[in-house]
Structure 1
Amino acid sequence: MDDYKTVLRSDETEVEIKKSRFINLVFHVEDEAAVDEILTEIRKKHYKSTHACWAYVLNTNPKRQKASDDGEPSGTAGKPILDVINHRELKDVLVVVVRYFGGIKLGTGGLIRAYGGGASDVLNHCCIIKKQFSDQVKIVIHYPSYGGLSNSLMEKEIFPVSEEFGENVTLNFQIAVAQTKAFLDWVEDQTNGTAQIIRGEQAYVDVEVTNDEKTM
């Protein structure tokens, strides 16, 4: 299973363009049922709006995606929103741009810029994370080995999720699947083969992304 980027939580921004209000909304979604529920609530809340255009991409294989212009000229709203989501390689994401028409038409190019810009604005503002497919690993070591291993881990900027101190020391890690073998080989070398290694289930874990990764 591949790593992917998504949003941690819902967020909202608002801009005004030639007297039209554009309310930009983003949500984490994992299936069409969640998309439908959110869109229903938005239509209720913004029942006086002129348009509520949207696009989503789901983390499926192959990925599922869909977009809607909601009455705007074809290709001027839903597709620009979808293009922004795909350009940033986001999945399990729904972006909705609600428009309250202000009386001045924007034209085809203006609409594309407004809806694509609205999607970019809210994604710039929200918290984006990487869902990293990881091995859950426990490293059990004797106390004399703890100090040296801890220092070596700090030098490599690898930090355990938690530590347990009992008869021995247990360090709990979440390691990207592609990096697990190299990490475990390194641990065995650092502890002269005395560490007990326990591998648990594989699962997605949330990892922060850099500002550069957000806008890729």
Structure 2
Amino acid sequence: MRKAYKILYKEGTGEIIEKKSRFIASFRPVKTEEEAQAFIEEIRKKYWDASHNCYAWILGENGEGKRCSDDGEPSQTAGKPMLDVLEGEEIVNLCVVVTRYFGGTLLGTGGLVRAYSGAVKEGLKSCTVLNLVPAKKLIIDTDYNGVGKIQYLLGQSDITTLNSEYTDRVMLTVLVPDEEVLKLQADITEATGGKANLETGDSVFFGIHEKEVLLFPEGS
């Protein structure tokens, strides 16, 4: 059974200061290890004079691909705390690099953990995260007598209409969350006395950003 998951849709950055050390978190949506590595190298070149460029990434709908690096900081004080924040937020398909400019004062292991995780949390505030919901396209073919009843049902369930075609009949393509497909089909069949033809189309995921419905093909 498919389930909803969260992705990084738009990148962002954030910065905190701890005892004069700067911690700059840079985020990028990625889908492969190659994209993540390319982003890390890009940040290393941008902040070539920094003390450290630590990173963490999570890939795959189920977060099966994970990696992190302390980049010279004491073990478990940078990459792992960064990864922990991402896992806690349950976001996938993203990479974050936290760049540190040393300020002259040692932070200790606890201070480093708080600084690196804090930088990630700060950076996430400027990012756009989408909750992707599994859905199916449902194609509804009906005569004009059934249109009003069907549109009422769609409105009651807050179902998005992707396309409408009006000829001698009406064809609607709507986006239905997986868990609502069977009920909606049954409701439409009952409301129209079985006169509406229903066809299940592509399986997709969708997210809503600034009131716009965004479609993502399965496995994208």
TM-score computed with the length of structure 2 as normaliser: 0.87
Q: CA deviation at 1:20?
A: 1.5
Residue 88 of structure 2 corresponds to which residue in structure 1? 87
- Per-residue Cα deviation, 1:127-155 (whole angstroms, up to 9, x for no partner): 11122232121112222222232223222
Kept after mapping to 2: 8 A contact 1:132/1:207 = no
Instruction: Find the counterpart in structure 1 of residue 21 from structure 2.
Output: 20
- The correspondence of residues 130-209 of structure 1 with structure 2, limited to 5 A, is 130-207=131-208
CA 1:120–1:47 in structure 2 vs 1: closer, same or farther (change >3 Å)? same
* Structure 1 runs (4+) greater than 4 angstroms displaced: none
How far 1:51 sits from its partner (Å)?
Answer: 0.9
Q: Which residue of 2 aligns with 1:59?
A: 60
Would you say 1:48 and 2:49 are equivalent positions?
A: yes
CA distance in 2, matches of 1:88, 1:161: 30
Could you tell me how far 1:181 is from its partner in structure 2? 1.6
Structure with greater strand percent: 2
Question: Which amino acid in the other structure matches residue 71 of structure 1?
Answer: G
Q: Which residue of 2 aligns with 1:36?
A: 37
Structure 2 spans left out of the alignment, 5+ residues: 211-220
CA contact (8 A) 2:153 2:188 kept: no
3-state SS in 2 of match to 1:150: helix
**Residue in 1 that maps onto 2:124:** 123
Assess if the C-alpha contact under 8 Å between 2:63 and 2:92 holds in 1. Answer: no
Task: Find the counterpart in structure 2 of residue 214 from structure 1.
Answer: none
Letter paired with 1:178: E
Query: Deviations along 1:41-62, whole A, 9 cap, x unmatched?
Result: 1111110111111111111667
Q: 1:133 to 1:155 in 2, by over 3 A?
A: closer
| Distance (Å, rounded) in 2 between the aligned partners of 1:93 and 1:20 | 25
Q: CA deviation at 1:169?
A: 2.1
Query: Are 2:5 and 2:133, in contact at CA under 8 Å, matched by a contact in 1?
Result: yes
Q: Does structure 2 retain, via aligned residues, the 8 Å contact 1:130–1:208?
A: no
Shift of 1:207: 4.1
Q: Residue 76 of structure 2 aligns to a residue in which SS?
A: coil
1:170 & 1:122 partners in 2: Cα distance? 45
State TM-score, norm by structure 1: 0.88
Question: What runs of 5+ residues in structure 1 fail to find an aligned partner?
Answer: 210-216
1:201–1:154 distance in 2 versus 1, CA, 3 Å: closer
Segment of structure 1 superposing worse, 187-196 or 85-94: 187-196
Q: CA deviation at 1:32?
A: 0.4
Q: CA deviation at 1:166?
A: 2.6
Instruction: Tell whether the 8 Å contact from 2:13 to 2:124 is kept in structure 1 after alignment.
Output: no
What percent identity do the matched residue pairs reach? Answer: 33
How far did residue 175 of structure 1 move?
Answer: 2.1
One-letter code of the match for 1:72?
E
Tell me whether 199-208 or 70-79 shows the greater mean CA deviation.
199-208
CA contact (8 A) 1:26 1:93 kept: yes
